[in-house]
Amino acid sequence: MIKGYQYFSAFLDLRAQKSLVADLREIIVAAPLYTPTMPVSGRPFSVKMTNAGSLGWVSDKSGYRYQPLHPVSGRPWPAIPSDLMDIWREVSQCQMDPQACLINYYGNGAKMGSHVDKDEETFEAPVVSISLGDDAVFHVGGLKRADAKTRIVLKSGDVVVLGGLARLAYHGIDRIKAGTSDLLQEGGRFNLTLRRVTRS
C-alpha cells in the first residue's frame, strides 16, 4: 500500500454517524444535491454532489474547479459542521482548517472512476474521507494510473486519510453494495471528503 494512506475502520459509532446524517440533511436543504457534468463531453456523473465550506468542488463543461457558490442556486455553500471539523483535527495531523467538504451521493449503480484529487493549490494537507451508508468497494493505487491497486470495502463510519505520497494516488469507487446498511432511509451511500484548497 502506498505510504500516507491511513484507514480507520469503524472510526464513527452509530450515534456519530446519525449526527453526521442530520448535518447532511441540513446542508442539502441549503445546498441541494445536483448532477455535475464532465469537462468537455458534458456527460453526467453517476454520483450527485453538493459541498459545504468556503469553497466547493464543481465540474462542468468548462472543467474542474473550486468555487464559493453553488452552481445551480448561486448561493454560498453552508459552513462545514463542527463535528466534521473535529474529525479533521483528530485524523489529519494538519494545523490548517479544511475549506471544502465535497459531498458525493451514490445511488443505484453509481461509481467513481479512478482519479487523483489534484485541483487544490496545495497538497500539503491530506484529504480526509468519511463513509456513511451502504458498503463501497474502494480502490487505491499509486501515482500512475497503471500502478497496482488495493481494494478495500469501506463501511459506514469508516474514515480514510490520503496524505503523504498517497495524497496524489489514484483512487476510486468500483461499486456500492446496495442494501448493506440501513443508516440512510433512501439507501445508497454518502461520502464526505474534507480538503484544504489554498495555501495558509
Strands (E), 95-149: 100-106, 112-115, 127-133, 135-140
Q: Which of 98, 138, 196, 197 binds ligand SIN (CB under 6 A)?
A: 138
Residue type at position 160: V
Binding test (CB under 5 A) with Fe ion, winner from 23, 117, 120, 158: 117
Binding at 129: pick from ligand SIN, Fe ion, none (beta carbon under 5-8 Å per type): ligand SIN
Strand partners, 57: 66
- Residue 81 or residue 130: which is nearer to ligand SIN going by CB? 130
- Number of residues interacting with ligand SIN: please give it, by CB under 6 A: 10
Site string for ligand SIN, 11-40 (x = CB under 6 A): ------------------------------
Which residues is 128 bridged to in the sheet? 161, 194
Which of 58, 173, 183, 194 touches ligand SIN by CB under 6 A? 173
Judge contact between 134 and 189, C-beta under 8 A: yes
Bridge partners for 136 per DSSP: 154, 176
Residue 9 has, within 13 A of its CA and on its CB side, a CA count of: 2
Phi, psi of 169 (to 5 degrees): -85, 150
Q: Which of 52, 87, 110, 112 binds ligand SIN (CB under 6 A)?
A: 112
- For 103, list phi and psi in degrees, rounded to 5: -110, 115
- 193 makes contact with ligand SIN (CB under 6 A): yes
In whole angstroms, the minimum distance from the beta carbon of 154 to ligand SIN comes to: 6
Q: Which three cell numbers stand for residue 175?
A: 461499486
CB of 76 to ligand SIN, least distance (A): 22
Cβ atoms of 92 and 175 within 8 Å: the answer is no
- Judged by CB under 5 A, the stretch of 67-75, 86-94, 111-119, 135-143 that binds Fe ion is 111-119
Residues forming contacts to Fe ion in the complex (CB under 5 A) are 117
Residues forming contacts to ligand SIN in the complex (CB under 6 A) are 104, 112, 129, 136, 138, 154, 171, 173, 191, 193
